[in-house]
């Protein structure tokens, strides 16, 4: 390409990967949820995480089920 010509921009595919996490879950997605909710991060989805998630879901007008699924992850801005 000559000077001043732009390079084609590669197509960007939004992330759609996620795990459903609920009380008793643990691991990376539990940690991501806790980080997004701005609470203590240990990756373990226990009573505290569930309570904060239910309240957050209620505040956002989501079904307050205490489960982080596709709709919750999208509302948190962590998936497309």
DSSP-assigned letters across all residues of the chain: --TTPPPPPPP-PPP-----B-TT-BSHHHHHHHHHHTS---SB--HHHHHHHHHHHHHTTS---S-B-HHHHHHTTS--
Q: Is residue 64 part of a domain?
A: yes
How many domains would you assign to the chain? 1
Q: Say if 63 falls within a structural domain.
A: yes
In a domain, 48, yes or no: yes
Query: Is 54 a member of any domain?
Result: yes
Token duo for residue 49: 């995480």
At 14-69, the pLDDT tens digits run: 567 899 999 999 999 999 999 999 999 999 999 999 999 999 999 999 999 999 99
- Tell the residue number behind the tokens 């879950």, with chain if given: 25
In this predicted structure, the answer to whether residue 10 has a pLDDT above a threshold of 70 is no
The predicted structure's pLDDT at residue 32: 94
Q: Which domain holds residue 40?
A: 28-75
Which of the four pLDDT bands, split at 50, 70 and 90, describes residue 75?
very high
Of 41, 40, 65, 70, the residue nearest 53 (C-alpha): 65
Task: Give a yes or no: residue 8 inside a domain.
Answer: no
In-domain check, residue 51: yes
pTM over 0.85: no
Within-domain flag for 32: yes
User: Is 23 inside any structural domain?
Assistant: no
């Amino acid at each position: 390409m000559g000077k001043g010509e732009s390079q084609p921009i590669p197509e960007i595919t939004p992330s759609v990967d996620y795990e459903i996490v609920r009380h008793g879950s643990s691991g990376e997605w539990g940690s991501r949820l806790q980080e997004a909710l701005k609470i203590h991060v240990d990756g373990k989805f226990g009573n505290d995480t569930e309570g904060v998630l239910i309240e957050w879901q209620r505040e956002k007008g989501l079904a307050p089920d205490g489960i982080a699924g596709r709709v919750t992850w999208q509302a948190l801005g962590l998936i497309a």
